[in-house]
Copies of this chain bind each other. A is one copy, B any other.
Amino acid sequence: MKFEVTILGSSSATPVYNRNPTAQLLNCNEKFYLIDCGEGTQQQLIRFGIKANKIDFVFISHLHGDHYFGLIGLLSSLHLNGRIKPMKIFGPPALEEILALQFQHSETVIRYPIEFVATQADKPVQIFENADLTVETIILNHRIPCTGFKFVQKKRLRKLIIERLEADRVPVEYYPLLKRGADLDLPDGSTLLNADYTTDSERPRTYCYCSDTLMDERYFESIKGADLLYHEATFLQDMLERANQTHHTTALQAGQVAIATGAVKLLIGHFSSRYKALPPLLDEARTVFENTELALEGNTYSVP
């Protein structure tokens, strides 16, 4: 099952050096989840040849403009381009008012349903569930209320070994129980052992998105054991004081978070405009956590 994230924006605060403010597109089993939506996200989607109408869910971490100024334009364009299927948006409570005010004054009545779900940045809760995954908030420590998002794939049903089932003439009405992992006692007194007829399904994987935050142990429990951890790394460690003042993280700290929480792989982004070249940030994170990559725009990273 596809579980991968495409970077649409990797810049902090302002666009610079052809880097756009934060936005990511998560593809889980060909359903598309937009995570944050800085200005120009719809242009980035066009640039990378991604149809915006594939997105059915939007998750906004907080109301600093570099994480959401592109949302109103994206929603408007979907309307103008004839979208009719619903869109579900998760974000801080005031986001609904901000969107509504702008629709009101353009006299736009969006022709597809928008369901808005307000997030709270007080304690981690599950905010979404479908057949593929659940989404929980991660309570980050930023200057304004800010939540990350943890996308957890669901444990899938066991895979049937069809050739063996057919060879042994196991009736198809038993298949659903076998998929759920049961051994079957047959009317003739014999037993079908599940292990003979199924294999384990893919291990469910987890993607954690930590947008803007001070390094703070209080959210470590939430992101424990992430297969792919995206963590902001706005500064190099020599700017630690500035990072603390602005409630951001250094590349070194992002690596430390990855170690402390047992991540499999780390993706760093939200780069300050002071860094034209990004390799120093990567090198610094790798001094503590080797399996790190830069979140580069247009690149897609599979959740390992």
Contacts and interface: CB of A to CB of B under 8 A. Distances in A.
21 contacts: A14-B42, A14-B76, A14-B80, A14-B81, A16-B46, A20-B43, A39-B39, A39-B43, A40-B43, A63-B105, A63-B106, A65-B72, A65-B76, A65-B102, A65-B106, A69-B72, A69-B102, A94-B101, A95-B105, A98-B101, A98-B105
B106 A15 contact: no
Interface in A65-107: 65-66, 69-70, 72-73, 76-77, 80-81, 92, 94-95, 97-98, 101-102, 105-107
Contact of A40 (B40, B81, B105, B108): B40
B69 A65 contact: no
Contacts of A97: 101
A2 interface: no
B143 A107 contact: yes
A15 B13 CA distance: 22
A144 interface: yes
Contacts of A286: none
Interface residues of A, number: 36
B43 A42 contact: no
A154 interface: no
Contacts of A77: 13-15
